A and B are shown apart, each in its own frame.
Chain A
Amino acid sequence: AQKVTQAQTEISVVEKEDVTLDCVYETRDTTYYLFWYKQPPSGELVFLIRRNSFDEQNEISGRYSWNFQKSTSSFNFTITASQVVDSAVYFCALTSGGYQKVTFGIGTKLQVIP
Chain B
Amino acid sequence: EAGVAQSPRYKIIEKRQSVAFWCNPISGHATLYWYQQILGQGPKLLIQFQNNGVVDDSQLPKDRFSAERLKGVDSTLKIQPAKLEDSAVYLCASSSQLDYSYNEQFFGPGTRLTVL
Which chain A residues have a beta carbon within 8 Å of chain B's beta carbons? 4, 6, 32-33, 35, 37, 42-47, 50, 52, 91, 93, 95-96, 99-107
Contact = CB atoms under 8 A, between A and B. Distances in A.
Given A99-B55, A104-B43, A44 B107 contact: yes
B101 A100 contact: yes
A78 to B, nearest CB: 20
A95 B58 CA distance: 15
A58 B100 CA distance: 23
B106 A47 contact: yes
A45 B56 contact: no
A44 to B, nearest CB: 5
Given A44-B107, A44-B108, A50-B102, A102 B33 contact: yes
B85 interface: no
A77 B89 CA distance: 26
Interface string B58-93: 100000000000000000000000000000010101
**Residue of B41, B42, B44 with most chain A CB atoms under a 10 A cut-off:** B42
Given A43-B110, A44-B109, A91 B102 contact: no
Given A91-B43, A104-B42, A104-B43, A52 B107 contact: no
Contacts of B114: none
B73 to A, nearest CB: 21
Interface of B: 33, 35, 40-45, 48, 55-56, 58, 89, 91, 93, 100-110
A33 B102 CA distance: 6
Top 10 A-B pairs, shortest CB-CB distance? A100-B101, A104-B42, A47-B104, A45-B107, A95-B101, A106-B42, A104-B43, A102-B45, A107-B42, A44-B109
Contact of B91 (A35, A45, A100): A45
Given A45-B43, A102-B48, A105-B42, A52 B102 contact: yes
A107 B106 CA distance: 18
A35 B102 contact: no
